[in-house]
Structure 1
Amino acid sequence: MTTPPVRAPRRDARANRESILSAATTALSVDPHASIDTIARGAGLSRRALYGHFEDRDTLVRELIAKGASRFNDIALRIDDTDPRVALGRLTAMLWNEAAHVQVAASIALDEQHVSSTAEALAPLRRRVVDLVREGQAAGSLRDDVPAVSLARLIEETARTVITRMDAASPDALSLAVRAVLSISGLSWREAQALLAAHPDLVATQS
């Protein structure tokens, strides 16, 4: 017996699913505890229609985490600067330029219910940060009074705090985010200023 071909989702079904994900990104970036009703209204759909695409709120949030993490992990793998300080600055800047996606992931990560899911999804990015820290410590360019894994976590927490507390539209936001990461990594403000002066592309606004 011939197996019937699998039909691709109808265009309107795909559009509705993307609308839900977009509405969830918007809602959760403002309130990480936004309800299904709020998300459905943002997508212009009924609660029942939303449940036709996602089994429950947790399933929806997990897909958002996976989508955001995939973008972040890809960015981390593209960083190839030989100077760990420049690499950390570039990584911060590139993530910042994904502001809307970064902010929703950071907000979700602050929700205790999804900390473990976020950590698992962002494992490649976290490994890259640890590797950069170890390289910097070995070269004497990053602080070594803190173990590499702990310093990498401090860098992550600093970046997440800046991202969730600052207005991404501010003209100084990108520079301040990069400087905050460099500072916690062990650079003085003068060293950070000199590094950014030597690599102005790190904080160039991307359209």
Structure 2
Amino acid sequence: MTATETEPVAARPRRSDATANREALISAAQSLLAVDPNASLDAIAQAAKLSRRALYGHFPDRESLLDEVIVRGAGRINAVAEETDDPDPRVAIAGLAARLWREASAVRAAANIALENAHVLGTVRALAPLRRRVRALVKAGIESGAFRGDMSDRVLAFLVEETARATLRERWLTSKDGASTVVRVVLSIVGVPWTEQVALLEAHPEIVAAG
């Protein structure tokens, strides 16, 4: 190569500060939308310590930002669903409920966004793996006799999902008792008596342990 020849210019990697700003916006949106589904773009930008103009540099409108929050939240939630398993269906579904509580910010944000008509279908699609996992756990519980058998796995899984979502959205539940409450609610829905729940959690304290 002669002195007059030049090497091809490589594509510039995305600037680290731009990436950090985008992540800050998504994190701020998750936190604020978990509290208020109507949180404004101004509030989100302020929480991320960025200007509204900077926000628009990453997301052209509020809908695109909410779509990203749904995708991010669903990814974490679906991963939790796939990773949670146990031969005892009671332990498996209790563990899933507790782990979802620990992902409360993403769960609550996704649940709140799902209330908006424009995002219901997108949320349903994004959380399809979670729904399949819950239904599989419920079916296994019914077939083993551990869960109530007076309704189909489809109906019971729906009741678990709706009740758990409503409970997860209640911010008055503290981090200390929240996981235990969600677990007990889910176990009650599938038909596990409260006395059996006490014994189960005593035998498996890791289900509701912090961390």
Q: Which letter does structure 2 place at the counterpart of 1:101?
A: A
Give the superposed CA RMSD.
1.7
Query: Whole-Å Cα distance in 2 between the matches of residues 98 and 77 of structure 1?
Result: 14
The partner residue of 2:153 within 144, 148, 157 is 148
Q: Where does 1:1-207 land on structure 2 (aligned, <5 Å)?
A: 5-206=10-211
Sort the Cα spacing of 1:190 and 1:166 in 2 relative to 1 into closer, same or farther, 3 A.
Answer: farther
* Counterpart code for 2:15: R
Question: Cα offset for 1:41?
Answer: 2.0
Inter-partner Cα distance in structure 2 for 1:145 and 1:112? 33
- Identity, in percent, stands at 52
Per-residue Cα deviation, 1:113-166 (whole angstroms, up to 9, x for no partner): 212111111111110000011111111111122221121111111111111114
Give the counterpart letter for 2:63 in structure 1: D
The structure with more radius of gyration: 2
Q: Distance in 2 between matches of 1:36 and 1:170?
A: 28
Alpha-carbon distance between aligned partners in 1 of 2:175 and 2:102, rounded to the nearest angstrom: 12
CA distance in 1, matches of 2:163, 2:151: 15
Letter in 1 for 2:76: R
Change (3 A) 1:3 1:73: farther
TM-score by length of 1: 0.92
Per-residue deviation, 1:167: 3.3
- Counterpart Cα distance in 2 of 1:80 and 1:29: 27
| 3-state SS of 2:169 partner | helix
Q: Is the Cα–Cα contact under 8 Å of residues 166 and 173 in structure 1 kept in the other structure?
A: no
Deviation at 1:3, TM superposition (A): 7.6
The total of aligned residue pairs comes to: 205
In structure 2, distance between residues paired with 1:109 and 1:138? 32
Corresponding residue SS for 1:25: helix
Write the letter of the residue equivalent to 1:100: S
CA shift digits 1:148-190 (9 cap, x unpaired): 1121111111111111114353422211110000001111111
Q: Is the 8 A contact 1:99 1:168 kept in 2?
A: no
Mapped to 2, the partners of 1:167 and 1:203 lie a distance apart of 18
Q: For the Cα contact (< 8 Å) 1:130–1:149, is it kept in 2?
A: yes
Alpha-carbon shift at residue 101 of structure 1 (Å):
2.0
**Structure 2: runs of 5 or more not aligned:** 1-6
Q: Say which SS state the counterpart of residue 53 (structure 1) adopts.
A: coil
Partner Cα distance (1:205, 1:12) in 2: 33
**TM-superposition CA deviations, 1:42-95 (whole Å, max 9, x none):** 222222221110121111111111111111111111122011111000001111
Distance 1:23 1:132, change over 3 A: same
The Cα of 1:4 is off from its aligned counterpart by: 5.1
